[in-house]
Structure 1
Amino acid sequence: MQRLEVDWSRIGIFAATAVISVVIGCHGQPYVHGNDEARGVIVNVFSILAGFLITVMTLLGEPGLYRGRTWRSDAIKRSNVYQRLVRHKWLFISYLIVLALVFMTTIVAKREPDGRLVSCLEMLYLGFATFAFIYSLMLPSRLLNLQLARFDELVESKRSGQKAD
């Protein structure tokens, strides 16, 4: 029976990010209420991030980059790549949620500009935007670590190949 390992640091980062996002969503809502420029910036930023993330996911999913020496090492790498892609998928979905909430806010605000529903939608999209943005800040270091691990693996593979000669 395989024991489930819990990554407490990831859970802590998730919880802290969630708390920060709720606080910013609630207290920042007056700053985005009726502010078309702020809404436009959020839409532009998350549209660009979504496009960038799809490119990253496409590159990370390329099987040719993960060829190992044996089928077992390929199977292990596939599992790791799958887990990374699933995390990126959820980040991409959070971008789309932000964009959908902004869109809904725009539609509802035309009908009832100062209604409670508009305020709630603004809090939601600002909170989701904060959450997704904070997680996006971690993406470059994860990609850097991935590339360095690939490079180290390549060096080790060549080193062990030279020793066998």
Structure 2
Amino acid sequence: MRALYIAFSFLCGCFVSIYWGEYVVGNEAAIGIFVTVYTVLAGFLVAVIAILGDPSLLPSGSWRSAEGHRQEIEDRLIRHTWLFVLYLVTIGVIFVGALLSKAPEDVVSSCVKAIIAHIHLGLGVAAFILTLGMPKMLMDIQRKRVDAEIDRRRAEAGIKD
């Protein structure tokens, strides 16, 4: 299911890039918005990665119980690291496009400049769609933390489930 969501995200990015990419070519206001949004999202994602790596997310109990959840946490960290890389690639393509936008036509053709704008729009849309699942994931993590704390307090009070 996750692979379908990723494919859907990139297909949407391609669709938007093909049909509306011309509105980004040479549009410095849009480029500024993209850079701002993806820079903020990248910073936010660093905080999420730090939260995911917090050892307090491991369930209480034996080391075997914690070991059993290690792979789940590592998988989440890897997925979010790839999303972070996608943000950085998007920002990088925008940066290259901004640099080349001022190059003379005999050095960099307007076609190449347009292709770069289309690429950063497609990557940006795909990255944004992939980000939409993050609030639910964060809510699930916090819910698990609250449930673990309630379970710990019940155990301290001698209450069994």
After TM superposition, the score normalised by the length of structure 2 is 0.89
Q: Secondary structure at the match of 1:13?
A: helix
Residue 30 (structure 1) aligns with: 22
Partner of 1:4: none
CA-atom RMSD, angstroms? 1.7
In structure 2, the residue matched to 1:5 is: none
1:155 corresponds to 2:150: yes
Q: Distance in 2 between matches of 1:120 and 1:70?
A: 55
How far, CA to CA, are the matches of 1:62 and 1:84 in structure 2? 12
Which position in structure 1 is the counterpart of 2:90? 98
2:123 is matched with 128
Alpha-carbon separation, structure 2, partners of 1:100 and 1:53: 17
**TM-score, scaled to structure 1:** 0.87
Q: For 1:110, give the aligned amino acid.
A: K
> 1:42 maps to which residue?
34
Match of 1:116 in 2: 111
Separation in 1 of the partners of 2:59 and 2:11? 40
Instruction: Name stretches of at least 5 consecutive residues in structure 2 with no aligned partner.
Output: none
Structure 1: gaps spanning 5 or more residues: 1-8
- Structure 1's consecutive aligned runs of 4 or more residues displaced over 6 angstroms after TM superposition are none
Letter in 2 for 1:128: L
Identity %: 31
Tell me, in whole angstroms, the C-alpha distance in 2 between the residues paired with 1:160 and 1:96.
45
Amino acid at match of 1:93: V
Asked whether the equivalents of residues 9 and 127 of structure 2 are also in contact (C-alpha less than 8 Å), the reply is no
> Matched residue of 2:61: which SS?
coil
In 1, Cα distance between equivalents of 2:141 and 2:147: 10
Give the structure 2 partner of residue 139 of structure 1.
Answer: 134
Q: Offset at 1:67?
A: 4.9
One-letter identity of the residue aligned with 1:108: L
